[in-house]
């Protein structure tokens, strides 16, 4: 069964009980005020891999991924209830209404996830359309003594009422200090680390509530949506490493305080993505979109393959050279699979496939899985039909569309696929004499071979 690193428990452990046949997973979705960059998309690839590995074992997975189209502040790190909503700020800059802007970037996000073969979630609630469950959750927290209203119409979570706060990030309440960019201490709060569940306002994207007109805090959105759509038992909660604090700490406190129990069994986080050695963020001016990759003439799934080459828990430095190399590998594998498909099908090499699947199960060790796959690709002792079945079977997790070239190329004569494989390996080894000899053998079979920067091309 799949084992993952649990951020809260600080160890790799099974995410489901032996024999479990269902799993509920929540993943923090996009804030739809701009295009998602490759660093954002890495987080959603993580949840997709978890899903695919579990489904390979016959587990039915239900995923909830929210859409934040209201309530996300420009300065989240300071837990500042007076901050400006990111969606409203960008809408004003682009001269559109907030919901027009949000729907536009939501569609762009969904197109990117589709291009990366990230499966759509069973539930994708929008914050602006889930206000009622948020108000109900806030009222429940007030009733249970975990939240309090102030005269101006704000509602704050009482952090001191949740003693285990900080178990995910290590940021315990007794060590927290007011943010350095917040002027003074908010007199409305009982404790400086309390955060706003409801904020009073009279502008676009506000709603009536028992405490007056306003809008929800960002952190309460995920609690309300996960409880509404997945219930009080969530097996896995995923997100980027930057969400550990304060977002996931606040979310855990809200959900557990309302439910009276530990709601999320396992918290799993993916590390940051660098590009050409620098953090990918608008603030650094180092943003690369999936559309930029396509415009460079590369297959979007080269991004998926490049990310699979690195452990999800380690910071990754993506480069254009890395992406071009992944694109070449992707095209070669598709060509090999198409060539192998001309040979009779054979049973998969069971031990080799089991080793790759064991790597998937071991905290998503995709780098090892890919190394084992390359070894299988080069192993001439394994029949082409067996390698075909193995690659197609494992592509259910890799999701690289490795079968996409089958049937798109002319049929190879018998034996030609093996000769092409051997010639490609000879070229990689610099054995030009063998390469020329194999080209002559292919020509005798009626297959013409030419060499190009991206590899050999045959007709």
- As a whole number of angstroms, the distance between CA 423 and CA 434 comes to 7
Q: Is 64 annotated as a binding residue?
A: no
222 annotated among ligand-binding-site residues: yes
Q: Is 401 exposed, middle or buried (0-12, 13-18, 19+ CB in 10 A)?
A: middle
Q: In whole angstroms, give the CA distance from residue 65 to residue 86.
A: 19
Measured between alpha carbons, how far is 416 from 335 in angstroms, rounded to an integer? 13
For residues 88 and 203, the answer to whether their CB atoms sit within 8 Å is yes
Per DSSP, the three-state class of 413 is coil
Q: Do the beta carbons of residue 330 and residue 400 sit within 8 Å?
A: yes
How many residues are present in the chain?
A: 459
Query: How far apart are alpha carbons 148 and 448 in whole angstroms?
Result: 77
What span, in angstroms and rounded, lies between the C-alpha atoms of 201 and 221? 17
| Closest to 406 in 3D by CA, of 333, 352, 304, 300 | 333
Q: How far is CA 214 from the centre of its chain?
A: 32
What's the DSSP call for residue 39? H
Q: Work out the angle at residue 123's Cα, subtended by the Cα atoms of residues 117 and 126, and round it to the nearest 5 degrees.
A: 105
247: its two tokens? 């977002």
Task: Indicate the annotated binding residues for Zn(2+).
Answer: 28, 222, 247, 251
Task: Indicate the annotated binding residues.
Answer: 28, 222, 247, 251
């Amino acid at each position: 069964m799949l084992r993952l690193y649990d951020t809260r428990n600080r160890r790799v452990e099974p995410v489901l009980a032996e024999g479990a046949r269902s799993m509920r997973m929540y993943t923090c979705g996009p804030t739809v005020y701009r295009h998602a960059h490759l660093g954002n998309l890495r987080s959603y690839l993580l949840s997709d891999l978890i899903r695919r590995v579990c489904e390979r074992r016959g587990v039915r997975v239900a995923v909830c991924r929210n859409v934040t189209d209201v309530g996300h502040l420009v300065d989240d790190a300071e837990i500042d209830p007076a901050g400006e909503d990111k969606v409203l700020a960008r809408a004003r800059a682009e001269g559109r209404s907030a919901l027009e802007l949000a729907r536009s970037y939501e569609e762009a996000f969904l197109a990117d996830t589709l291009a990366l073969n990230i499966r759509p979630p069973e539930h994708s609630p929008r914050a602006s359309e889930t206000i009622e469950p948020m108000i109900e959750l806030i009222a429940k927290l007030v009733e249970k003594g975990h939240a309090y209203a102030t005269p101006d119409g704000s509602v704050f979570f009482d952090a001191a009422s949740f003693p285990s706060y900080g178990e995910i990030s290590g940021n315990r309440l007794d060590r927290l200090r007011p943010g350095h960019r917040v002027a003074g201490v908010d007199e409305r709060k009982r404790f400086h680390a309390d955060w706003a569940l409801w904020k009073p306002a009279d502008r676009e994207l506000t709603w009536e509530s028992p405490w007056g007109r306003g809008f929800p805090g960002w952190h309460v959105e995920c609690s309300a949506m996960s409880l509404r759509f997945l219930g009080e038992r969530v097996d896995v909660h995923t997100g980027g490493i930057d969400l550990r604090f304060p977002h996931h700490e606040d979310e855990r406190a809200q959900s557990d305080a309302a439910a009276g129990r530990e709601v999320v069994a396992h918290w799993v986080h993916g590390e940051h993505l660098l590009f050409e050695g620098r953090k990918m963020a608008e603030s650094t001016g180092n943003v690369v979109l999936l559309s930029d990759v396509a415009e460079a003439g590369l297959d979007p799934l080269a991004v998926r393959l490049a990310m699979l080459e690195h452990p999800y828990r380690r910071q990754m430095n993506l480069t254009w050279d890395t992406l071009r190399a992944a694109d070449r590998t992707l095209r070669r594998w598709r060509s090999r699979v198409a060539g192998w498909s001309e040979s009779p099908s054979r049973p998969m090499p069971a031990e080799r496939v089991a080793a790759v699947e064991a790597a998937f199960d071991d905290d998503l060790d995709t780098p090892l899985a890919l190394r084992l796959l390359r070894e299988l690709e080069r192993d001439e002792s394994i029949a082409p039909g067996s390698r075909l079945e193995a690659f197609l079977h494992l592509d259910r997790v890799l999701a690289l569309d490795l079968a996409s070239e089958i049937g798109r190329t002319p049929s190879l004569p018998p034996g030609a696929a093996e000769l092409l494989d051997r010639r490609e390996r000879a070229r990689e080894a610099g054995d030009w004499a063998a390469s020329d000899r194999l080209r002559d053998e292919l020509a005798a079979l009626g297959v013409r071979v030419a060499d190009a920067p991206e590899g050999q091309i045959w007709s």
